[in-house]
Structure 1
Amino acid sequence: VALLLPFLCFLSPAAAGRLLVIPMEGSHWLSMKKVLMELSKRGHQIVVIAPDNKILIDSSDVYELKTYPVPLTKEDMEEQLRFFSARVFSQEPFLVRFWKRLEDYRKSGTTFHSSCKSLLYNQELLKYIGEGHFDALLTDPVTPCGQIIALHFSIPSVFFLRMVPCALEVRAAQGPDPPSYVPRMFSENTDHMTFSQRVKNFLIALSESFICNIAYSPFEELASEFLQKPMTMTEILSQGSIWLRRIDFVFEYPMPVMPNMVFIGGIHCGEKKKPLSQ
C-alpha cells in the first residue's frame, strides 16, 4: 500500500465532459433522451442540435437546445411520420410492401437530406461547434449527418441505434453478415430458415444495394462535397468509435457483433410504470 500511495497522488478524479448530440426525430429520440438525462446527472454538459421543425425533441433543463431552419414545416414532418408508421403494420403481400417501402425510403431520404444540408451549411452553428471543444458526439446513424459533423471536426462519435437499413451497421463495423444465416430487415424470417426462406433472404440482400442507393446516395454526395473527398455510407459510418445498440441478445436471433458494439436493450425496464387500469 505504501508503494502505491505516491502513484495515487498523481491521479485526479474523472472530469465531466462536453457532449454534442445530433439526434433522430420520433421514437429514436425518446430512448436517447433518457440517456441524456442520466449523463446530465453525472455532470456532463450536453448540447442538442435539431431542426426547427422538430416534433418530439423538446427543450429541457438537462441540455441546451439549439435549432436551425429547414425547408420542411413541422406539419409536413408529422404527416410523413404518420404515413410511414401506418406502412409498418401493413398486411399487404410482400412484393407490394417492398415497392411501397422503396418509395418510403426515397421520400424520407429526400427529407432528411434537406435537413442535413441545412445544418452542414449553417455557418453560425458550424462556428459554434468548432469553438465548442466537444469531447464526443452522440448521434443516430440512420441519417449520417451527425457523423459527417464528427468527421469534419474530428470529434469521437458514439452511435445510438437499433439497426440501420441494409445492414450498413454490420458492414461499417466490418462484421460478417452471411445472408444464408442472418435474417434481413423486414424479411420476417428468423435464424431458423427453410430453403425457400433462405432464397428469399438472399434476394432481399441482393436488392439492398439498390434500395439503399436510392436513400443514401444523396448523403454520400453531400458528405463528399462537404468533406472534400469521396465518401460512401460504409466509409462514413466506419469511423464510429462505439455502437450502442438498443437490442438485447436474449430476444434477438444470434448475430455476429464486433467488440465496439454494446447491447443496451431494455434501458427503460428499470422505470416505475403506472399499473394498468381494471
Structure 2
Amino acid sequence: IGQVEAGKVLVFPGEYSHWHNMRVIIDALVDRNHIVTVLVSSSSPTVPHTRKERFDFNVFEVNIKKEEARAMWSEFTNLWMNDTATKYERVFMFWRVMTNFILNTEDICKGVFYNKDLLRALHESHYDVLISDPMMPCSDLMAQTLNIPHVLSLRATFAYTFERLCGQMPAPASYVPAVALNDHLTDRMSFTERVKNMLLYIIHTTIFRLQMKFTYDWLYTEIW
C-alpha cells in the first residue's frame, strides 16, 4: 500500500440542516487524519464553536447578533412551511426574507474580507482546499484569494443556475428537472412537462441574473 499525505482543509459551513450535512463530511475527513478548520461567524445560531471538537474553529466577528441571525433563518424556514398564506402574501414574505438574507450575506462577506488579520492567518495556514456550503456567501472569492481548490458540499441553486452559468455544468432541460421540489418531474418527461421545465429554467435564470446585478455585483466589487 502506497503512502499518502493528510491535507489541511478549510470548511465554511451553512446553518441548521446544512451544518449537519457538513458535519458528516468533517467527521469523515478527521477520521482520515486530515487537519480541519471550520470558519464560522460570531452570529452563527447552530454551529457550536464554543464546544471542544476533534477539529478547530476559527471565529470571525460580524455586526449581526446571534439572535438576529436565528430570527432570519427561522423566517426563511417558515416561508417554505407556511401553507395558509395567499399567493401575494408568499411573494411579500419571500422578498422580505431575501432582503434580510442579503443583509446577512453582506455582513458575513465584510466580516471576512475586511478582517486583514483573519485573511493573513488563513494565508499563512496554507490550506489545501476549501469546502463550503453553497448558502455561505463569498466562498468563491475566498478560494480565489487563498489560491486553493473550492468544493461545494451540495447542489447550490434551483435550476442548477450557479452550476450551469458559473461551473459550466451540462443540464439539458429536456432531461434534467429544474426544481428539486417538483418530485413529479424526472429524466423522462412528456412534451408538456418539458415545456414546463424549460419555463422554470428561464424564470430561475432570469431571477438569478437580476439578483446578481442588483445585489452581489456591487458587493463583490466593493470587497474585492
Query: Could you state the TM-score of these two structures normalised by the residue count of structure 1?
Result: 0.68
More helix by share: 2
Q: What is the alpha-carbon distance in structure 2 between the residues aligned to residue 22 and residue 125 of structure 1?
A: 14
1:57 paired residue number = 47
Distance 1:170 1:50 in 2: 28
Shift of 1:116: 1.3
- One-letter code of the match for 1:190? L
Whether the 8 Å contact between 2:129 and 2:148 is mirrored in structure 1 is yes
Q: 1:123 to 1:165 in 2, by over 3 A?
A: farther
Name segments (4+ residues, structure 1) moved above 6 Å: none
Equivalent residue for 2:60, pick from 65, 68, 87:
68
| Residue 128 of structure 1: how far off its partner (Å) | 0.3
Aligned to 2:156: 163
Size of the alignment, in residue pairs? 217
Distance, in Å, in 2 between the alignment partners of 1:38 and 1:162 is 20
Equivalent position amino acid for 2:9 in 1: L
Corresponding position of 1:190: 185
Paired with 2:93 and 2:200, the residues of 1 have a C-alpha distance of: 15
Contact 1:51 1:68 in 2 (8 A): yes
Cα offset, 1:95, TM superposition: 6.9
What's 1:112 paired with? 105
Look up the SS of the partner of 1:116 in the other structure.
helix
When normalised by structure 2's length, the TM-score is 0.82
Contact 1:23–1:139 under 8 Å retained in 2 = yes
How far has the Cα of 1:166 moved from its partner? Answer: 4.5
The match for 2:171 is: 177
Q: Does 2:40 correspond to 1:41?
A: no
- Pick the structure with greater CA Rg: 1
Pairing 1:69-84 to 2, within 5 Å after superposition:
69-84=61-76
Q: Is the 8 A contact 1:165 1:212 kept in 2?
A: no
Deviation at 1:104, TM superposition (A): 2.8
* Rounded Cα–Cα distance in structure 1 between residues aligned with 2:193 and 2:82: 20
User: Is the Cα–Cα contact under 8 Å of residues 41 and 60 in structure 2 kept in the other structure?
Assistant: yes
Please say if residues 179 and 198 of structure 1, whose CA atoms lie closer than 8 Å, have aligned partners that are also in contact.
yes
Partner of 1:207: 203
With over 3 angstroms needed to count, the CA separation of the structure-2 counterparts of 1:88 and 1:125, relative to structure 1, is same
CA distance in 1, matches of 2:96, 2:207: 9
CA distance in 2, matches of 1:115, 1:128: 17
**What SS class does the counterpart of residue 20 from structure 1 fall into?**
strand
Q: CA deviation at 1:124?
A: 1.1
For the Cα contact (< 8 Å) 1:142–1:161, is it kept in 2? no
User: Which range moved further: 217-226 or 127-136?
Assistant: 217-226
Aligned CA distance change for structure 1 residues 110 and 119 (closer, same or farther; 3 Å): same
Unaligned segments of structure 2, at least 5 residues = none
Q: Secondary structure at the match of 2:153?
A: strand
For 1:180 and 1:102, the matched residues in 2 are separated by: 30
Residues 208-250 of structure 1 deviation map (CA, whole Å, 9 limit, x = unaligned)? 23422454443333334444xxxxxxxxxxxxxxxxxxxxxxx
Matched AA of 1:25: E
Distance 2:202 2:127 in 1: 40
**Aligned amino acid, residue 77 of structure 2:** S
Offset, 1:28? 0.6
Distance 1:187 1:104, change over 3 A: same
2:82 corresponds to which of 85, 90, 95: 90
Change in CA separation of 1:113 and 1:99 when aligned onto 2, cut-off 3 Å: same
